Structure 1
């Protein structure tokens, strides 16, 4: 009986529970551990005598570490992918003879598939944390509560009714109206009433972003993509709106080049960061707003027709403040209360001031009213805000518009008061309702009706 030849080196090699492979400088496999075959899905014996280049061509793994070790004549480490999708951390080490000639390359590996997946997960979480951080920063800078959305007038009630209907579905909405009428507040309100209310509300002022920065602000950019860019890159406003609402304010100010980018975003719901090669999908509800006549802009060739139709699925026209007088007094009360609280004051509006403000033209609409009430609360020295506290433009404009330059103040105020009472009586069923609309007590309403003989 012949005794089987025992090779100590082979025994040691196979006893190691490691993936070890030894080649000559040409890449021919001379020795291999038993674990190596199982990693690559082949019996270890079948690997002997073959070259690593053959195995790479057959798709068993890629890339080879051997040629890099031969070229560098030093240790090389890289990530290798096997045919079955495993990720291996391969280290190749050169072995030299006494004369310094390279005679062998020994490589060993560690399965890092789980670590690679973990890295992907960590990268994804890092992106998500950056997104949330940026979103919170945006929200801190915005007034997210719906402030001053009051609808006593028939026109405003119609606006709110339409807004409530469209809030339930992800249809594109175009808010139209003069500057300062409250389009932003209505956009917030639609978001809060929608199924996306737990998601972000991201407002983009299309007229306030420099054209050279528009793409970077809207879509974000990769690290080092242009001079002056953050080394960490930046998440764009569109990406921040994922899962929520993207509000494009002043959309009529978009340049032709910007209109193309916005149209593509709306159509495809995906984009590329500046300097990036990966398409990023995004899910948002779109609301746009403008004070421009987009139909006229389309006819003049200043605004793309296809973008206009994309935005104008459901148009909502917000009336100017001068056409919703019924909302004026409640709005005055609302902002007076807000600024009293903000500045720790107890200011009240004299009835003459209220009546005087009701006849203004309000070219700046609600925004103008907000600014005026804040100014009156801050600058008035007594608890009661009177006619004397009104800025001179408001005194001049009302007299000019109504032809009262040569009439005494008392007569003018009496005429305004009578007109307001007549309007309130036509709208309201009871003197209690009239009192609420006019912002005075019910006994005062009865007394004034008698005074002006209004029946």
Structure 2
């Protein structure tokens, strides 16, 4: 029977996923996995009968887990570093007889090298991500400084009369409007006008975070909450906005289960991290934005009514560019100048190109305008941006407007002599420039000629100019 038990024990030790070493009370190895010693850079062989104290002196075990168990007479867990650079996780257990005397030490060891490397890589990645987040925030701040709030339209003037009044309060603001109208720029403007301007401004695009990661991203987690979690835990985006402003863009994309949790935070001003046991008090200003009809989403059961009322305290509709054509000229000039400086070029826009872009619908709004001008700056070789440089899709959309706009001019010059026809066209351009620009300097830039020439031509045509 004893022989059978010995065979069973040997087979268990030999086939175990853990590397097992058993020593007596003097540290002499009684049993050990044959493969155990390969982790330490030694040939597979029997170390039965050798002393763990001698192996320690030789630097093979550094330190010996069994020796520590025999010394401390309790469970011990350590990380061993071998000469091969491996990291071994070892756990040792004391074995006492009926009289309470320590008679054995049993240890289990696992090669953790790859796991430790992965953890180090993960930690390095987290450091890089934190660095990237800082860089992104700095770039956003720089970008915000390059995106001045330019407008002439009456609708935008009215909005900017309202913003300072609501900025000094903590009332929830909901920006409504099409994509690309500048909702995030206005949200930051509100933050800069508020008493929280020196605190964080945390911007979250609800459409870019996977639903499975949304809760941990927003609420954070405690150490060991799930596989892959940081040992120290992590603050959520709501916590990061403490004392500052939390801007939730594309709020209509917020998952329903998260809507419930966000509502609770807004009502109680408390949150609990994933895996947490205590609630944390949070103080932040909430601004949201969407290009969707939230009321319709409520009717369809896609958005909570109670949350909708919480967010819709001060709704502000940002009109699209096609609704505020007075702003198009000044924005075109601004982005043209900004991109010329950025790419160290000096591109100019032909008046006819200005005219076409002013009549364009701009479905992508300010974002589309900036992208279009950047593409033109980078792709055309000429210094003058002409109508034929515009993308085909854009020209197709404004062809009818352009034709009707110039129809009366064409009719009026068909029967004229060259001199009179040129004057008629010149009058048309001057009239358009006068309506679009506020000063003669702007008119000169718009038409691509000098300011003295503008003054001369205004005097020349003062009796004929329709202004």
Q: 1:231 offset after TM fit, Å?
A: 3.2
Q: 1:214 offset after TM fit, Å?
A: 0.3
Whether 1:255 and 2:267 are equivalent positions in the alignment is no
Q: Any conservation in 1 of the 2:288–2:311 contact (CA below 8 Å)?
A: yes
Whether 1:149 and 2:168 are equivalent positions in the alignment is no
For residues 158 and 246 of structure 2, the distance between their equivalents in structure 1, rounded to whole angstroms, comes to 24
> What's 1:443 paired with?
455
Q: Any conservation in 2 of the 1:134–1:240 contact (CA below 8 Å)?
A: no
CA 417–296 in structure 1, closer or farther in 2 if over 3 Å, else same: farther
Uncovered stretches (5+) of structure 2, i.e. residues with no partner: 1-71, 76-98, 102-126, 413-423
CA 218–162 in structure 1, closer or farther in 2 if over 3 Å, else same: same
The alignment partner of 1:145 has SS state of: helix
Whether 1:368 and 2:380 are equivalent positions in the alignment is no
CA 216–443 in structure 1, closer or farther in 2 if over 3 Å, else same: same
Q: Any conservation in 1 of the 2:433–2:443 contact (CA below 8 Å)?
A: no
CA 163–417 in structure 1, closer or farther in 2 if over 3 Å, else same: farther
CA 330–213 in structure 1, closer or farther in 2 if over 3 Å, else same: same
TM-score (norm 1): 0.64
CA 134–397 in structure 1, closer or farther in 2 if over 3 Å, else same: closer
For residues 228 and 305 of structure 2, the distance between their equivalents in structure 1, rounded to whole angstroms, comes to 36
For residues 436 and 163 of structure 1, the distance between their equivalents in structure 2, rounded to whole angstroms, comes to 33
Q: 1:316 offset after TM fit, Å?
A: 0.7
> What's 1:175 paired with?
175
> What's 2:332 paired with?
332
> What's 2:353 paired with?
353
Whether 1:281 and 2:281 are equivalent positions in the alignment is yes
The Cα RMSD (Å) is: 3.9
Q: Any conservation in 1 of the 2:175–2:290 contact (CA below 8 Å)?
A: yes
> What's 1:123 paired with?
none
> What's 2:117 paired with?
none
Q: Any conservation in 2 of the 1:424–1:437 contact (CA below 8 Å)?
A: no
CA 349–434 in structure 1, closer or farther in 2 if over 3 Å, else same: closer
The alignment partner of 1:331 has SS state of: helix
Structure 1 counterpart of 2:134, from 122, 133, 136: 136
Q: 1:444 offset after TM fit, Å?
A: 7.2
Q: 1:141 offset after TM fit, Å?
A: 6.1
> What's 2:40 paired with?
none
CA 163–196 in structure 1, closer or farther in 2 if over 3 Å, else same: same
The superposition leaves residues 353-404 of structure 1 with CA deviations (integer Å, 9 ceiling, x where unpaired) of 1111000010000000010111111112122222222111121111135665
Q: 1:422 offset after TM fit, Å?
A: 6.5
CA 416–305 in structure 1, closer or farther in 2 if over 3 Å, else same: farther
CA 401–285 in structure 1, closer or farther in 2 if over 3 Å, else same: same
The alignment partner of 2:248 has SS state of: strand
For residues 250 and 225 of structure 2, the distance between their equivalents in structure 1, rounded to whole angstroms, comes to 28
Equivalent residues in 2 for 1:136-215, closer than 5 Å: 136=134, 139-140=137-138, 142-143=140-141, 145-146=144-145, 147-215=147-215
CA 281–437 in structure 1, closer or farther in 2 if over 3 Å, else same: farther
> What's 2:399 paired with?
399
The alignment partner of 2:203 has SS state of: strand
The superposition leaves residues 13-59 of structure 1 with CA deviations (integer Å, 9 ceiling, x where unpaired) of xxxxxxxxxxxxxxxxxxxxxxxxxxxxxxxxxxxxxxxxxxxxxxx
Q: Any conservation in 1 of the 2:222–2:234 contact (CA below 8 Å)?
A: yes
The superposition leaves residues 307-358 of structure 1 with CA deviations (integer Å, 9 ceiling, x where unpaired) of 1111111111101011111211211121112211221111121211111100
> What's 1:454 paired with?
466
TM-score (norm 2): 0.63
Q: Any conservation in 1 of the 2:200–2:243 contact (CA below 8 Å)?
A: yes
Uncovered stretches (5+) of structure 1, i.e. residues with no partner: 1-72, 77-98, 102-128
The alignment partner of 1:199 has SS state of: coil
The superposition leaves residues 261-289 of structure 1 with CA deviations (integer Å, 9 ceiling, x where unpaired) of 11112112221111222212111111000
Q: 1:294 offset after TM fit, Å?
A: 1.2
> What's 1:67 paired with?
none
The superposition leaves residues 224-249 of structure 1 with CA deviations (integer Å, 9 ceiling, x where unpaired) of 21123233322211111111100000
